[in-house]
Structure formats: structure tokens, C-alpha cells
Structure 1
């Protein structure tokens, strides 16, 4: 497959909207077949799921799964070649870019829940996680109850942002919530001392911790909040495309290939620092591999 860097997302949105106004809407498989191109949405700092390594190459657990799906689509459509356009997405724009056709498939660290399922479709789940806090070892923070009157970072447009707002409202805990545009920016602000903690999915926090020069200065704390599943996003009401994606992911999971990919990113040294997250696969993830499902948890 040929890798192609794509246009900036805002230009893609304009082009896609203009094209939709002039031409009949094709199914995703028809579009891929006619253009021999697939647009894959990726994250820039969702370590170790989808992120830039030291050479600005997109790597990660979700990225490996997505590329394997793209290869399955190429074989399904009997294409001699399939060009892959990589489109960077954020928590805020990932759903609109899938909806307007700029992105055919997005596999990163996107939570599948019922609210989002009203806007886009989701594949079978590829991961399961819960939100926790990342903080300095000497911060004195051990859980949400220690955050009263203090500044806490979240990434805008994430379920963690909403969870913290709802927790604050329901418990009366007064927290100064600061929203960053992406996980990398949030962690940079945390490191600079602009907040005492960063609330995000546990796996992502361990990934960010592994990128630092001194991982031992940071720890993940607090009781896990609501458990969620990650899945790949695609446009609604495109059953043929979803069927191909689900078949490919199910095959990867049940063949043991997904577990090999997991071990590459969670139990082996990863770029850019060569650090190891040393995180064995949770039992719930192994259960998911054995019996893939596209049902959300919330």
C-alpha cells in the first residue's frame, strides 16, 4: 500500500462538502474501488494507540489494526494497489470528518458510546479502558476527592471531559477544569505545572508517561471511572463497509494476530524513547478478542 500525506482537515472538509453537492453519494467501498484510495484518520499523540514517532511516522496499536483492515479491503475489492491517505484528526473534529467523507475509517482512541453512535457507526471494539488521573508522585493527589479547588486538565471533546463535569456537578466538588486541544498539549501543560492532574483514559496516561525523560516522576492514580470501549469509526448506514471492517478485525482478534500487535505496543519498547509500558493484556481484552462485539458499554 502506498502511504500519502493528506491535505489539512479543514481543506478536506470543504472539498468533501463541495463534492457532495455536485455528485451522487457513493458507498465507501464504491468510492475506494473507483479511486483506489482509502482515507484513514489517525491521532497525533494518543500513545500507544495512534501517534507520531520520532520520524513523524504514524505508529501504534490502533494504527497497526487499521492498516491490516485496509489491506483486507484491498483484497476484498481485488485492487492491484491501494493508496492510503493519512488524515490527522483531533477529539473535536474526528466525527465531522468521518461524517463528511474526508475520513473513511478512523482507528485511534475513540470511545464507542450510544451518544456518538447516533452520529457515526462503529466497528467491533478494539480495546477496553477506564479514566484515571496522571499526576506527579509528590503532588499529594491520590484520587478525585483531592482535586477540590485545584486545576485539572482534560482533552476537549473526550468522554473524560464530560465525566469530570458530571462528577463535579453531582458531588459538588469544585474543580477548575482546563481543556486542551489534544493529549500531547494537555501533558505539556501538566509538566509545566499549569495543573495538578490530567484526567484521561488509563492506557493513554501510561503511554504519555512512557514518553517523558523521567517516567518515575509520574504516576497514574485514582479509582477507575466508567469503563469504556474503543472502536473504529465509519459513516452511518454503510453496512457493506462495516461488514468488511468487522470481518477483518474479528479475524485479527480470533487468530491471535491482534494479541501480537498488543504485545508490540504494550509489552515491548516503543518509540520514541524505547520505553516499555509493561502492561499485560487485561482479562476483559482477552475476552473481547475471543468474542468480538460492536456493542457500547455506555
Structure 2
């Protein structure tokens, strides 16, 4: 399978635009959309966070939600404050999992989902997504001493996936296509899936490569586990929010354009993926060509609209 860097950035951008859907500015005379109206009334924005998706969304030692996705969401909150004329909006953090995050948006339990969520056309039928914020793909984490190099090497063995993820679907599809007879088990979240591998209850853990690397770094287990295999899927990430609200979509996209025009996106990326994180670990994952070009496209878009 082609390496991730070989994917056409144009295709990724097109896929992301398809996922986010068309948005349009709505004038103040038409009032606020339902989500923005509720935010203005409550003076608060509810951000859905993940406990174990470093460096996107996770907990620091004091139990405070932090991460790359949360910083992007906090920038959106500032822009929402401008839109609803309330510069002092409170942020309420709401824990979500890979399994309940979409329902949390649909059931109005959160306003923005700030995790590590793939924006694809299937999900875009139910929810909306921000512009592209990262590109990942499904790979395998295995013990360093394991002979496994590819999914095919796991024939008849046990693979753990996290419930409700696109990775679960990717492994199931590959299992069927290659007739591997895999025993596919599920963890409630990435931390539980990781622990199942640690405890020897699975021969491999399949999820997005960046999340596997993040868990290895977070647990300081570089001498115990490695990431391997061809990509089983390609996953463009986005901030998730309710569909059918052009005004909210416009606010989200305006936030990304402003971050692009201020050249804030790459430094923000470097803070979480290159530099030492607030928790002390370093990911050392350089920005991909696809993401760099996507950020540049947002800068160009912002310049064209000025």
C-alpha cells in the first residue's frame, strides 16, 4: 500500500470539504442558529474531550483536559464569543468516548467534539466537521519481540480495536478480504485497548498510527512495543459539531482561516507534535506534506477573502 505521504493532498482536501459540507455566513438580523443561541443563553460552550488520545485530547497529571484538538476548540470558542457578542464564555468539559462521541453531538450533550475523530462521508451524513486538522491511518502496535510485520501475519490470532472507531471497521474489512480468521476484540477506549495488549490478551492493537505512537510515548514503553504494518485506512481528522447549522459551520471555518492567516497553525502543531508536551513527553512527529499544504490553503483562502 502507498505510504501516507504519497496521497494526493488535493484528494484529502476535497474529502475534508465533502465532510465539512458547505457553509455560509448568516447575518445578525436573522438571529442565531440553535446551537449558538443555546450557547449565548448558557454563557458556556461544552467541549467533548477524550481521556486517552494523546496528543490530541487527554488528561494532564492533575486530571485537566489538554491537547492539540482542545486548543483548536478553544480558539473556536473565542470566535463563537465574537459571533454571539459574549467575550466571556465559560468552557464546560464533557468526557466522551470513541463509542458515544457522535451520539453526544446528536443528542446535544456537547457543542464541539475535540478529540481524534475521522471526518468521512458516512459520518458527514449525521454530523459536520471542521477543516482538516490532521491526517492519520490505521496501523498495528505489537510487542517488540513479536514477529508480526503485517496484518496477514496475525492469521487466526487476536487483535484488539477500540469500540466505535473507523479502525474497527478497517480491520473487519481486511479480515474478511484476506480470510484471516482474526479474533477481533474491543476495548472501551484506547487506554483499555492498550492495556489488553500489555496484559497479553491480544497479539496486536489496531488504531491510528499517531495514537499508537502517542500511547507508547505516554507510557514510556518504547522498549516494549512498536508500530508496524501497511496502512489499513487513511483518516483525515476534524473537530465535530452539529450538522445543519450554516452559521456555526461558518464560525468554525472562520476560526481556521484566522489561525491560518496569522500563521498560528504550524506553531500549534509543533507545540504538541514536536516540542515537549506539558506532561513532559515528546512525540517528534514532523508535519506531513498533506497537512502543511492544507494549512497553507487555509492561509491562501483567508488572504483571498481579505
TM range, normalised to the smaller chain? Answer: 0.7 to 0.9
Helix, strand or coil at the partner of 2:130: strand
State the distance in 2 between where 1:292 and 1:106 align.
Answer: 21
RMSD: 1.6
Q: How big is each residue's C-alpha offset from its partner over 1:65-116, in whole Å with a ceiling of 9 and x where there is no partner?
A: 1111111211232214111111111111111110111111112101011111
SS of the equivalent of 1:291 reads helix
Hey, what's the Cα distance between the residues in 2 that align with 1:250 and 1:107? Answer: 18
Q: Distance in 1 between matches of 2:91 and 2:220?
A: 33
State the alpha-carbon separation in 2 of the partners of residues 213 and 234 from structure 1.
33
Q: 2:98 aligns with which of 91, 110, 124?
A: 91
Residue 107 in structure 1 maps to residue 128 in structure 2: no
Runs of 4+ more than 4 Å apart: none
Count of aligned positions: 268
Deviation sequence 1:18-61 (CA, Å, 0-9, x none)? xxxxxxx9611111112211111111101110011111111111
TM-score, reference length from structure 1: 0.86
Residue 283 (str. 1) matches residue 289 (str. 2): yes
Query: Could you say if the C-alpha distance between residues 256 and 225 of structure 1 is closer, same or farther in structure 2, counting changes exceeding 3 Å?
Result: farther
TM-score by length of 2: 0.84
Where does the alignment leave 5 or more consecutive residues of structure 2 unmatched? Answer: 1-31, 300-306
Quote the offset at 1:292 in angstroms.
4.3
Alignment partners' CA distance in 1, 2:182 and 2:51: 28
Q: Are 2:152 and 1:145 equivalent residues in the alignment?
A: yes
Mapping of 1:1-298 within 5 angstroms?
Answer: 27-272=34-279, 274-292=280-298
Deviation at 1:277, TM superposition (A): 1.2
**1:92-143 deviation per Cα after TM superposition (whole angstroms, max 9, x unaligned):** 1111110111111112101011111111111112111111111111011111
- Cα distance in 1 for partners of 2:144, 2:260 equals 36
SS in 1 for 2:85: coil
User: Matched residues in 2 for 1:133 and 1:155: separation?
Assistant: 12
More strand by share: 1
Q: Give the gaps of 5 or more residues in structure 1.
A: 1-24, 294-298
Contact 1:42 1:106 (8 Å CA) reproduced: yes
Asked whether the equivalents of residues 124 and 250 of structure 1 are also in contact (C-alpha less than 8 Å), the reply is no
Which deviates the most, 72-81 or 93-102? 72-81
Structure 2 partner of 1:3: none
Assess if the C-alpha contact under 8 Å between 2:152 and 2:178 holds in 1. no
SS at match of 1:33: helix
| C-alpha distance after superposition, 1:222-261 (max 9, x if no partner) | 1112212011111111110110011102221343212111
Alpha carbons of structure 1 residues 153 and 257: separation in structure 2 relative to 1, 3 Å: same
